[in-house]
Amino acid sequence: MARRSVLVCGILLLLEICNGNQDYNNYTLIKINPYNDEQVLVANAINATGIEILKNSRGLNDTVDLLVPPSRVNYTRSYAEENKLGFEVKQENYGRSFQELGPPESDELNRTVRTARRRYQKSFHLFEYNSYPSILEFQETVARRRPDLVQVEDVGRSYEGRRIKLVKISANPEAQNPIIFIDAGIHAREWVAPAMALYLIHRLSSDPDVRQNVLDGVDWYILPVVNPDGYEFTRSSAAHRLWRKTRSQTVNSCYGVDGNRNYGFKWAVSGVSTNPCDGETYAGPKPFSEPETQIVRNIMMKNADRMKLYVSLHSYGNFLVYPWGYTGDFLPKQWRKLDSLARSVSNAVQKAGGKPLTVLSAGKWYPAAGGSDDFAFGAVGVPYSYTMELTDGYEFTFPARLLKNVLPQFYEGFKVFGKSIKQEFGSS
Ligand code: 0X9
Ligand code: ZN
């Protein structure tokens, strides 16, 4: 959940970092823990050059996760001591762990992977992190295999020119059914999110029992990688693994806009950086400056009448949050419905053996404007709109070997989303 970095580019030494060259090899992952409401504010307010906040605290006993360079470890320890916050060094030499995330090990997983390989093509693995070309190939393969159910629509190109393709799963495309729209991967480093979207495509297009439950009467539109340039950048080297933004060139040698601060609803009123060289939350020169956010906007606008649920997949922290994201001062009048559906989803995930999701409004967690969830809800009129932060315990580098455990658990939550939308908006 990185929200802001206090990296400020401007001197030559830091330019490399601004361009996304940051291996974090000697950084320490530190968690500071607030024990009362006042301390939550203090912990979230830590601010020193070089320290990167991976996750803010949502309340008591929810840690602020920090990546701290060697020169700032003592400062961080003193900050915690002075403010009586808990202090835990979770991992030294943080960046080195990126290399250790090797291929799957267990026999059981190898069997699963072999099956998935046979089903699709050599390069795509359902329970691994795939390259963007093999994701595109997977999308096409599913459509070829199930022409009765799956269509792939070319919805545009990324800044660097990569094709972006929307998967539409519909048992009856003529019926004008309510639409559930899921996107993932607006934040480059949150790899588990595209993996979840692809797993959803797989299950919805191949499960025998899914038809009656969640496909008849509801159409699913799934965009697995909104920001493929960023995604491929994070795959290109360990030094780029924690890149978050798009890859558009903004000013001088600074790249990228935070896609989830770039949507045109209450744009830039809170929780954003106006510095193009900020590594994390730069809102962009104007709303929808990025081709990637324009693509998502266009899908929403084109289908506004039928779109009843929007879920944007992110990581991490096991949260399921709803509007408003731009403010924590008040909630939309429909918040009880948003809250109650989210709790049912969390219960289903828990019943499947997963950790429950923390449910609250995004702005009560921390206010940040220009998110896709607020745009869908406030500007497009999608009645149910969420951001889902998948997994916890591994920050942004959720190990591929655990995908086979968590993706099916989250999938149970999506079945509840489907059934509920069908019940409230379906025609029969
Ligand atoms: O800050 C974000 O963009 C999301 N968290 S993340 O760690 N994946 O970056 C949360 C967005 C919640 N929604 C809004 N604030 N609108
Ligand atoms: Zn995110």
Where do the domains of the chain lie, and which CATH numbers do they carry?
A: 24-92 (3.30.70.340), 115-425 (3.40.630.10)
Quote the tokens at residue 306: 């039928």
Q: Is the CB of 321 under 6 A from ligand 1?
A: yes
- Contacts of residue 231, defined as CB under 8 A and 6 or more positions apart, other chains included, come to 132, 185, 188, 191, 194, 225
Question: Exposed, middle or buried, 84 (CB in 10 Å: 0-12/13-18/19+)?
Answer: exposed
Percent pLDDT > 90 in the chain is 76
Expressed in angstroms and rounded, the spacing between residue 190 Cα and the centre of ligand 2 is: 6
If one counts every other C-beta atom within 10 angstroms of the C-beta of residue 384, the result is 24
- Mutate which of 314, 380, 386 for ligand 1? The one with the most ligand atoms within 8 Å of its CB, which is 314
Inter-residue contact 54 to 32 (CB < 8 Å): no
- Mutate which of 64, 65, 187 for ligand 1? The one with the most ligand atoms within 8 Å of its CB, which is 187
**pLDDT single digits (tens) 263-293:** 999 999 999 999 999 889 999 999 999 999 9
Average pLDDT over residues 307-315: 98
Please count the CA atoms within 13 angstroms of the CA of 223 that sit on its side-chain side: 30
> Beta strand 219-223 with 307-314: parallel, antiparallel or unpaired?
unpaired
What phi and psi values does residue 64 have, to the nearest 5 degrees?
-95, 125
DSSP, collapsed to helix, strand or coil, labels residue 269 as: coil
Q: Is the CB of 371 under 6 A from ligand 1?
A: yes
Q: Is the CB of 382 under 6 A from ligand 1?
A: no
Q: Is the CB of 362 under 6 A from ligand 1?
A: yes
Distance between CA atoms of 344 and 105, rounded to whole angstroms? Answer: 34
Inter-residue contact 303 to 181 (CB < 8 Å): yes
Predicted confidence (pLDDT) at residue 148 exceeds the cutoff of 80 = yes
Length of the chain: 428
What is the torsional sign of CA 387, 393, 399, 401? negative
- Catalytic residue numbers read 389
pLDDT at 109: 42
Q: Mean pLDDT, the chain, as a whole number?
A: 90
Q: Is the CB of 368 under 6 A from ligand 1?
A: yes
Question: What is the per-residue DSSP string for 216-263?
Answer: TT-EEEEES-S-HHHHHHHHH-GGGTT--S---B-STT-B---GGG-S
- Confidence tier at 59 by pLDDT (50, 70, 90): confident
- Least confident window among 48-62, 76-90, 108-122, 285-299: 108-122
- In the beta sheet, which residues pair with residue 184? 313
Inter-residue contact 152 to 161 (CB < 8 Å): no
If one counts every other C-beta atom within 10 angstroms of the C-beta of residue 77, the result is 15
Distance between CA atoms of 271 and 287, rounded to whole angstroms? Answer: 15
For the whole model, what pTM was predicted?
Answer: 0.90
Distance between CA atoms of 238 and 96, rounded to whole angstroms? Answer: 8
**pLDDT single digits (tens) 167-218:** 999 999 999 999 999 999 999 999 999 999 999 999 999 998 887 778 989 9
Farthest CA pair distance, the chain: 64
If one counts every other C-beta atom within 10 angstroms of the C-beta of residue 238, the result is 17
Atom of ligand 1 nearest to the CA of 3: 1
Separation of CA 41 from chain center: 24
Q: Is the CB of 1 under 6 A from ligand 1?
A: yes
Out of 9-23, 88-102, 129-143, 240-254, give the one with best mean pLDDT. 129-143
- Confidence tier at 102 by pLDDT (50, 70, 90): very low
Q: What H or E segment, with its residue span, contains residue 37?
A: helix 37-44
pLDDT at 165: 98
pLDDT at 22: 79
Q: Is the CB of 3 under 6 A from ligand 1?
A: yes
Inter-residue contact 373 to 297 (CB < 8 Å): no
Atom of ligand 1 nearest to the CA of 370: 16
What phi and psi values does residue 29 have, to the nearest 5 degrees?
-85, 115
- Least confident window among 11-25, 88-102, 249-263, 350-364: 11-25
Ligand nearest, relative to CA of residue 186:
2
Ligand nearest, relative to CA of residue 395:
1
Quote the tokens at residue 220: 């699913």
Query: Which residues are within 5 Å of ligand 2 (an ion), measured at CB?
Result: 187, 190, 314
Ligand nearest, relative to CA of residue 321:
1
Expressed in angstroms and rounded, the spacing between residue 12 Cα and the centre of ligand 1 is: 30
Expressed in angstroms and rounded, the spacing between residue 110 Cα and the centre of ligand 1 is: 34
Q: At what angle do helices 228-236 and 132-145 cross, to 10 degrees?
A: 130
Atom of ligand 1 nearest to the CA of 366: 15
- In the beta sheet, which residues pair with residue 4? 53
Predicted confidence (pLDDT) at residue 104 exceeds the cutoff of 90 = no
- Confidence tier at 88 by pLDDT (50, 70, 90): very high
Q: Whose CA is nearest to atom 1 of ligand 1?
A: 3
What phi and psi values does residue 352 have, to the nearest 5 degrees?
-80, 5
Distance between CA atoms of 194 and 135, rounded to whole angstroms? Answer: 9
Q: Is the CB of 323 under 6 A from ligand 1?
A: no
pLDDT at 120: 55
Average pLDDT over residues 399-407: 97
